[in-house]
Amino acid sequence: MADTTVPIFSLAELRKGVDQEKFRKCVTEMGVFYLTGYGAGEKDHQLATDTAMDFFAHGTPEEKQAVTTKIATMRRGYSALEAESTAQVTNTGTYTDYSMSFSMGISDNLFPSQRFETVWTEYFDSLYAAAQETARMVLTSAGTYDAGDMDKLLDCDPVLRLRYFPEVPEHRSAEQEPRRMAPHYDLSIITFIHQTPCANGFVSLQAEIGGKMVDLPVVQDAVVVLCGAIAPLATQGAVPAPNHHVRSPDASMREGSGRTSSVFFLRPSTDFSFSVPKARSYGLDVSLDAETATFGEWIGTNYVTMHATTES
């Protein structure tokens, strides 16, 4: 396996009660870990990835337009290269995300074909079950859970998104623009990330641990698990939501720097409510002018900002 400072846990072993103290310490101090034995295999990831990549490469402009959502507050269907800007959401710039993507959820989906729908629905279901089980372990490990009925919280509104990060052009190399995607924490309970490696060995994904950005290289048969913003809200701030970003390669590493990232966001239902002052006290950036807010209100404003047109 790849050399990494971030711990690797087996879901099968965690079920047996193995490494509980190590897991608790990792979850409360880092908010990020690798997970193996979670159900989906490399063939499952590859099939879903290949299905999306085939559409990216061969879908006609008309076919892509047909599965591009008109609803700015939802992530569904196809999103073109540089159509989004995480930097705008986080107020860290106006540069775009140098990626294209395809997304699905439980409902309101836009699929280009029946085969695509079948492959992705089976993949979605397997990741959903694994993410729910993992989230339960994460939220209980801290011993401070106070978000009500956990079964209700974990009856979620998840999103699965396949991102393709092509090799960057010269104007997006690290010397010109250091990142393909801006630093951010996820608006989720937890997030699964399955990566493919860059052919040239460049490590693009990093997470902030102890005030430093740490590489998260590909680990065979494992996903990266990142605790999202709902984790501190549900654990009285005990579980952090680490910032992470996607780096750009420098000019000498541009060739062979393409990669994909299959991301499963275990998001709460849109009516999940929280205290805005408490969220801010946990370091979360909530701009809503209210004492309490729902997850739907919070994430809706972020999606609108992400798709806003920038001035060049």
Kindly report the number of other CB atoms within 10 A of residue 119's CB atom: 18
8 Å CB contact between 90 and 117: no
8 Å CB contact between 182 and 87: yes
Catalytic (active site) residue 75: yes
User: What per-residue string of b and e applies to 132-168 under the rule 16 or more CB within 10 Å gives b?
Assistant: bbbbbbbbebbeebebeeeeebbebbbbbbbbbbbbb
DSSP 8-state symbol, 172:
G
Q: Considering the candidates 15, 24, 75, 163, report the single residue annotated as catalytic.
A: 75
Q: How far apart are CA 61 and CA 92, in angstroms?
A: 31
User: What tokens does 310 get?
Assistant: 């920038």
Catalytic residues: 75
